[in-house]
Amino acid sequence: MTDGRSDVAVIGGGIMGLSIAYAVARQGKSVTLFEAETLTHEHGGSHGKARIIRLSYDDPFYVGLAQEAFEAWHALGSVARKDLYKVTGSLDIDLSGQRRFDGHRDALAECGVSSKLMSATEINDAYPELNLPDEATGLWQHRSAVLNADLCSAALADEARRYGAHLWTGCKVNRVIPDDRIRLDTTQGMHHADTVVIATGDQVARFASDLGTHLPLTKSLEEVSFYEPLEPEAHLADHMPLLIFHLGNGVLSSVFPIHRDAGVKIMVENNGRDTSPPERLTEHKVAEIAETILPVLPRLPRAPSGTNLCHYILTPNGDFILDRLPGHPQIIMCSACSGHGFKFAPVLGEMVAQLITSDFVQPSLFMISNHSTS
């Protein structure tokens, strides 16, 4: 490719870049996406087979956004003729019993979504794979699912291509050069576009900085472990819900029932707390899971059958970034980050498309000004 042109160039082929390419191409714009490696490769933030989608937030804004996201994934699955998620329901659990999830219940109720507070006894009776202590409490919400992450990405890529988007892999963008028409200096030549969307995951802050804006994004090494029970039946997604443990100080642990991965997937978020080198972090995380989560899932083996390291990109307040770059209105920054962005990608992609094609104003939570003052 030399001297290419398009209405919109998207940098980054993670879930966010693909969602943007699909949404913008559907608006009839010519779109070229540049991905330095392969689409949703394993060093980015969007790889793997599973992500959680849940309505259970303690903020009505995110409950509403998750409702829209559910509809968007459903619509995409219908056009792509793929099962993009498996509904499991979810339990938010507080092992100390101090939390009655008032914020979650209020936010869900405000959005017309039902939920049910359950005692430890009720939960243990309903789910024999669980052995919660007497004092634990849980909030049941039926509209939660495991998103088939790899199939979601593939559906977005297929549909974006069907609407004419060009998805270039193995093509790194070295520099974005603002001009009347923006120039992209890539490893395969120069590209020109009216609008550029930068959705480069851990490289979003670097691109913003090159263009004169500081974004307070940090990177946190995270670890995911898989546990294969001898008797998997009770841990299958047909029987076991998604579990979200609230461990205090904002730390969450997510436990996925067995669906398309081998074994139960468990993650205790690190969120930058532990800055040990990778091999020590794995050791620490496996120990943390053994201490906090395995006691309440007694039929899982004590040792994981596999572990994966990956990273989160974090904003200080956990909200996403979706905004025009100050001084460069034709450049849009987008990061579906902070460990919970995957589920929202199709809704955020649509917002980016509307920013480009109409006078839409994005939610103030996603504006760069919301982050720079945090």
Ligand X SMILES: Cc1cc2nc3c(=O)[nH]c(=O)nc-3n(C[C@H](O)[C@H](O)[C@H](O)COP(=O)(O)OP(=O)(O)OC[C@H]3O[C@@H](n4cnc5c(N)ncnc54)[C@H](O)[C@@H]3O)c2cc1C
Site stretch for ligand X (CB under 6 A), options 9-17, 154-162, 258-266, 354-362 = 9-17
d(CA 67, CA 313): 24
How much of the chain is helix, strand and coil, in % rounded to 5? 30, 30, 40
Report the residue number, 35 or 129, with the smaller CB distance to ligand X.
35
Structure tokens at 80: 């792509």
Report the residue number, 12 or 229, with the smaller CB distance to ligand X.
12
- Residue 261, interface with ligand X (CB under 6 A)? no
Owner of token pair 């006894």: 121
Report the residue number, 59 or 122, with the smaller CB distance to ligand X.
59
CB-based closest residue to ligand X: 14
Among 6, 9, 26, 45, which residue sits at the site for ligand X (rule: CB under 6 A)? 45
- Residue 35, interface with ligand X (CB under 6 A)? yes
Q: Is residue 320 classed as helix, strand or coil in its secondary structure?
A: coil
CB 255, min distance to ligand X, A: 11
- Residue 310, interface with ligand X (CB under 6 A)? yes
Site stretch for ligand X (CB under 6 A), options 32-40, 119-127, 209-217, 351-359 = 32-40
d(CA 88, CA 51): 12
- Residue 13, interface with ligand X (CB under 6 A)? yes
d(CA 68, CA 217): 26
Return the HEC string of 177-213: ECCCCEEEEECCEEEEEEEEEECCHHHHHHHHHHCCC
| Torsional class of 60: left (φ above 0), alpha (ψ -120 to 50), beta (otherwise) | alpha
Task: Show the binding pattern over residues 166-195: x = contacts ligand X (CB under 6 A), - = does not.
Answer: ------xx----------------------
Report the residue number, 11 or 31, with the smaller CB distance to ligand X.
11
Report the residue number, 121 or 174, with the smaller CB distance to ligand X.
174
Site stretch for ligand X (CB under 6 A), options 196-204, 212-220, 324-332, 347-355 = 196-204
Q: Is residue 64 classed as helix, strand or coil in its secondary structure?
A: helix
Give one DSSP letter per residue of 268-288, joined into a string. E--TTS----HHHHHHHHHHH
State which H helix or E strand residue 322 sits in: strand 321-325
Among 32, 148, 220, 335, which residue sits at the site for ligand X (rule: CB under 6 A)? 335
| 63 strand-pairing partners | none
Among 37, 58, 59, 228, which residue sits at the site for ligand X (rule: CB under 6 A)? 37
- Residue 94, interface with ligand X (CB under 6 A)? no
Count of residues engaged in binding ligand X, rule: CB under 6 A: 36
- Residue 285, interface with ligand X (CB under 6 A)? no
Site stretch for ligand X (CB under 6 A), options 11-19, 96-104, 232-240, 360-368 = 11-19
The set of residues, in sequence order, having a beta carbon less than 8 Å from that of 80 and lying 6+ positions away, is: 155, 158, 159
d(CA 88, CA 259): 10
CB 146, min distance to ligand X, A: 9
Site stretch for ligand X (CB under 6 A), options 12-20, 106-114, 130-138, 323-331 = 12-20
- Residue 240, interface with ligand X (CB under 6 A)? no
- Residue 349, interface with ligand X (CB under 6 A)? no
d(CA 245, CA 252): 6
Contact of 58 with 64, CB cutoff 8 Å: no
Contact residues for ligand X, defined by CB under 6 A: 11-17, 34-37, 41, 44-46, 51-52, 172-173, 199-201, 203, 222, 224, 310-312, 335-337, 339-343
